[in-house]
Amino acid sequence: MRAAVMYRAGDVRVEDRPDPKIVQPGDAVVRTVASCVCGSDLWPYASMPATETGRPMGHEFLGVVEETGADVTGLKAGDLVVAPFKYCDNTCDYCAKGLHNSCRHGGRYGFDGVDGGQGEAVRVPYADGTLVKLPVAADSALLPSLLTLSDVMTTGHHGAVTAGVGPGDTVLVIGDGAVGLCAVIAAVRRGAERVLLMGHHPTRTDLGRDFGATDVIAERGEEGVARVREATGDGVEKVIEAVGTRESLDTAFGAVLDGGTISRLGVPQYEEGPIGPSTFLRNITLTGGASPARAYIEQLLPDILDGTITPGRVLDRGFTLDQTPDAYRAMADRQVLKAHISL
Amino acid sequence: MRAAVMYRAGDVRVEDRPDPKIVQPGDAVVRTVASCVCGSDLWPYASMPATETGRPMGHEFLGVVEETGADVTGLKAGDLVVAPFKYCDNTCDYCAKGLHNSCRHGGRYGFDGVDGGQGEAVRVPYADGTLVKLPVAADSALLPSLLTLSDVMTTGHHGAVTAGVGPGDTVLVIGDGAVGLCAVIAAVRRGAERVLLMGHHPTRTDLGRDFGATDVIAERGEEGVARVREATGDGVEKVIEAVGTRESLDTAFGAVLDGGTISRLGVPQYEEGPIGPSTFLRNITLTGGASPARAYIEQLLPDILDGTITPGRVLDRGFTLDQTPDAYRAMADRQVLKAHISL
């Protein structure tokens, strides 16, 4: 099969790889129908050291089940399924708590002999636990939105859940990338009355307004904090930080009210953060983290099926699998918000 | 009047100070009946630079109202009252949310012309908002426990509340100081089934067992983490960190399960902490902070009045006001858990 492999920062190639086969009885082989490039793929694209064997890329995909192992009971060849961005058994103590990304048997696509999602097919371990059947045809117009259940929409939702967003709330979303925009959708979906979106790419913040953002703040850093305070009187109780840089974390601490909550969705690009006496005296809660996407797929699915939410709009340009290197480049250059790869 | 004043690290003196008088119409003057020394008083006792004017000390006290300003309606001379460790209006937006320590008009005893609590009398601003009447006589045997409502008991309670402790929970409390021990009381009071207390002073951990701790872990650091994991199978979902050093924070991160919560009660003695990718990928929530003591006094009062909880037992040695310098020394030398000053 053909699949995307990264060899070092800036070097993504589409090449021939062995066709996936059932290895464990719980495996399924999924023929990929759609995949995409994640904002987090851009971190290795910017910094990965050279490797001889390369790393199969991609962790967001949906596709059609081609073959199942002997122990798989909930899926059969021909089923259209979406995969959360990590596989999981959906039975361990962490999964039982809804923390599927900490699954005792879980793992990442592209590691440990498991294929990446940016390729023609994927062997999915713990297929019964991992994959969710989609009640639409493989050519449905809903496919882009359903694909976001793999990661960005479930991640945005995780931010709104962990920040405790509820009816009438005012929420600040920092970052106008695909995750930030999905966090806007999620906050509105949970009843937030006012959603401030901090971002400086007008095409993205315009999409954020379409999703329900009531205020757009183009400034960053201290100036951004000042704008938030101006707009809200004093600050906000709930902040969703969807970037991951230290600067955006500092902005979150600056904009949050005493007693407020910062939920992080962007993978931290720092090791230490400002949790000294000031954070303590102000009773600020820091929460969020890697989304347990699997926990949320069934919750969000009905809203996509009935058109209540349309997160697929963040996939603003399509590519073929062979164009995957172009997709990375376009996203890294901020020409594309999120690249959709059709197979 | 006589009152304790700190001039520099290690130098606490009891000296004559002006008798407090009503300054604002919302003030009350409270004649102190009992006060105590806080673990947080030991930080300046260890490190305060020299000052010529000195700093009046103490923020935990109960006493009898002597005089009230023209606007005070809820209190009258002769009322026995307890003061939370910061004064507050109990009407601003932060107080309305139960975050009294961030009160828009609040402040600290010993600063801005307000007396400290380790003295014969205190002018209390916003007396109606701050002080809570106690339905006992000034010679009640319950006074030590009622005095802990000023700070340590309400602080321990804040840890249990913000960590989300509920029936059946397993909780780790790090630190066998007065706050840690009160956190044990609070966790048990909220229904925790298993409370692990990490501390290495046997007289304190014995008291912790009396308060309901089911396990005592004398080891610290990595060894302490290993003991917690051994005792619980894998770690704990809820950690109350009642020390404030970076070491104890690291222990908390080591002992907490993925998806778990660390609530901090010890004032951080660090500016930055370990909130990088690992904390993020593990979905750890960091919460807690300075307790809004005023918010909790009425909630905890009935349990002290009926003897359900006896937090006054943390006050393990009595001193007169003139002996306050000895009280500091004894606490700094760890000969005394928490010094009770009777007036």
Instruction: Give pLDDT tens digits for B310-321.
Output: 999 999 999 999
DSSP tag of A98: T
Distance from CA of B271 to the nearest CA of A (A): 4
Each residue of A109-167: pLDDT tens digit? Answer: 999 999 999 999 999 999 999 999 999 999 999 999 999 999 999 999 999 999 999 99
Average pLDDT over residues A64-93: 98
Within an 8 Å CB–CB cutoff, is residue B159 touching chain A? no
Query: A59, A111, A285, A296: best mutation site toward chain B, by most B Cβ within 10 Å?
Result: A285
B111, HSE (Cβ side, Cα atoms, 13 Å): 7
SS3 content of chain A, % helix, strand, coil (to 5): 35, 25, 40
Cα–Cα distance between A71 and A68 in angstroms, integer? 8
CB atoms within 10 A of CB B113: 11
Which candidate from B99, B272, B281 shows the least CB-CB separation from A274?
Answer: B272
CB atoms within 10 A of CB B30: 30
DSSP state of A268: P
| φ and ψ of A208, to 5 deg | -60, -40
Which of the four pLDDT bands, split at 50, 70 and 90, describes residue A304? very high
Sign of CA dihedral A21, A25, A29, A35: negative
Of the candidates B102, B259, B283, the beta carbon closest to that of A283 is on: B102
pLDDT at A106: 97
Contact (CB, 8 A) for B343 and B1:
no
Tokens (6 digits) for A115: 């294929």
What is the average pLDDT across A41-46?
A: 94
Nearest 5°: CA angle at A70, between A68 and A71? 95
What does the pLDDT look like over A216-251, one tens digit per residue? 999 999 999 999 999 999 999 999 999 999 999 999
- Which burial class, exposed, middle or buried, applies to B5 when counting CB atoms under 10 A from its CB (0-12, 13-18, 19+)? buried
Least CA distance to B104: which residue of chain A?
Answer: A258
The verdict on B272 touching A (C-beta cutoff 8 Å) is yes
B296 touches chain A (CB under 8 A): no
Residues in chain A: 343
Residues of A in contact with B277 (CB under 8 A): 267-268, 271
Q: Which residue does chain B place closest to A287, by CA atoms?
A: B285
A254-292, pLDDT tens digit by residue?
A: 999 999 999 999 999 999 999 999 999 999 999 999 999
Burial class (CB in 10 A: 0-12, 13-18, 19+), B39: buried
Note whether B241 and B265 are within 8 A (CB): yes
Give yes or no for A101 touching B (CB within 8 A). yes
pLDDT confidence band for A58 (50 / 70 / 90): very high
The whole-number average pLDDT for the span A307-315 is 98
Determine the pLDDT at residue B135: 98
Contact list in B for residue A264 (CB cut-off 8 A) is: 280
Q: What residue in A sits closest to B288 (Cα-Cα)?
A: A283
For B155-196, write each residue's pLDDT tens digit.
999 999 999 999 999 999 999 999 999 999 999 999 999 999
pLDDT tens sequence across B130-152: 999 999 999 999 999 999 999 99
Q: Inter-chain contact A259–B283, Cβ cutoff 8 Å?
A: no
* pLDDT averaged over every residue in chain A: 97
- Long-range Cβ pairs for the range B301-309 (8 Å, 24+): B301/B132, B301/B134, B301/B146, B301/B149, B303/B189, B304/B142, B304/B145, B304/B146, B304/B149, B304/B153, B305/B135, B305/B136, B305/B142, B308/B189, B309/B145, B309/B153, B309/B185, B309/B189
| pTM, entire model | 0.96
Q: Which residue from B99, B259, B275 is facing A286, i.e. has the nearest CB?
A: B275
Question: Given the DSSP bridges, would you call strands A132-133 and A121-124 parallel, antiparallel or unpaired?
Answer: unpaired
Q: Which two tokens stand for residue B181?
A: 């021990």
Q: What angle do CA A290, A158, A98 make, to 5 degrees?
A: 75
CA dihedral A253, A254, A257, A262 (to 10 degrees): -30
